[in-house]
Amino acid sequence: MNKVKVLLHGLAIDPVSNSPVMLLKEIQGNRILPIWIGVLEATSIASRLENIQFPRPLTHDLLKNILDFVGIKVPKIEIVDLKDNTYYAIITLEVQGERVDIDARPSDAVAMALRMGSEIFVHEEVLQKSQTFTEAPYKEQQEEMVGATEEEKEKLKEILEELDPKHFKYKM
């Protein structure tokens, strides 16, 4: 199976569904894979991208701290499948010289990869099955296609910095 190395190109908001979209762009090419994700996962990814520190660790930060403490590395994550409009990913752990693959949602896998310095791959088959698009050659078209302008990024940063942790508590 052919794997394509990608990077997190950014986050955008789908104007139709008002949902966050994670944009993965191939490193040696122009294809961009949009994956719709949840608000909490987008917050976790955005906080890492913007280097925002919360008073208490978010779930992905907690998991990174645990993995670091026990000496487990995360060399890579992979987006491995697309079935019924659902993407599947694996996080590869390196535990005492052995590699173990763990099932994960793509948004969680990418959030961990950002924290652990892991490589990110998408299987070619997934890119072919999905609705990828090509990055536009002109700056104004790029901003239109991939979402956030500098003003929108700044607004998102302000929102994240002003978040009150009480808003993330669930009522049981």
H or E stretch covering 6:
strand 3-13
Nearest-10 Cα torsion for 144, 150, 153, 158: -150
Asked if 91 contacts 83 with a C-beta cutoff of 8 angstroms, the reply is no
Among residues 33, 23, 29, 26, the alpha carbon closest in space to that of 5 is found at 26
> Token digits for 60?
């992905």
Residues composing the chain: 172
- pLDDT in the model for residue 164: 46
- pLDDT in the model for residue 114: 96
Residue 162 clears pLDDT 80, i.e. is over it: no
Residue 157 clears pLDDT 80, i.e. is over it: no
- pLDDT in the model for residue 65: 95
pTM of the model: 0.76
User: With bands split at pLDDT 50, 70 and 90, how would you rate the model's confidence at 166?
Assistant: very low
- pLDDT in the model for residue 17: 84
In the chain, the amino acid numbered 40 is L
12-51 tens-digit pLDDT? 888 888 889 999 999 999 899 999 999 999 999 999 988 8
Among residues 169, 5, 161, the alpha carbon closest in space to that of 78 is found at 5
User: With bands split at pLDDT 50, 70 and 90, how would you rate the model's confidence at 1?
Assistant: confident
Rg of the Cα trace of the chain? 16
- Provide CB contacts within 8 A for 12, sequence distance 6+: 20, 21, 23, 34, 146, 147, 148
Asked if 55 contacts 49 with a C-beta cutoff of 8 angstroms, the reply is no
User: With bands split at pLDDT 50, 70 and 90, how would you rate the model's confidence at 88?
Assistant: very high
Q: Which domains does the chain have, with CATH numbers?
A: 3-163 (3.10.690.10)
- pLDDT in the model for residue 54: 86
Per DSSP bridges, beta strands 20-26 and 31-36 are: antiparallel
Asked if 38 contacts 107 with a C-beta cutoff of 8 angstroms, the reply is yes
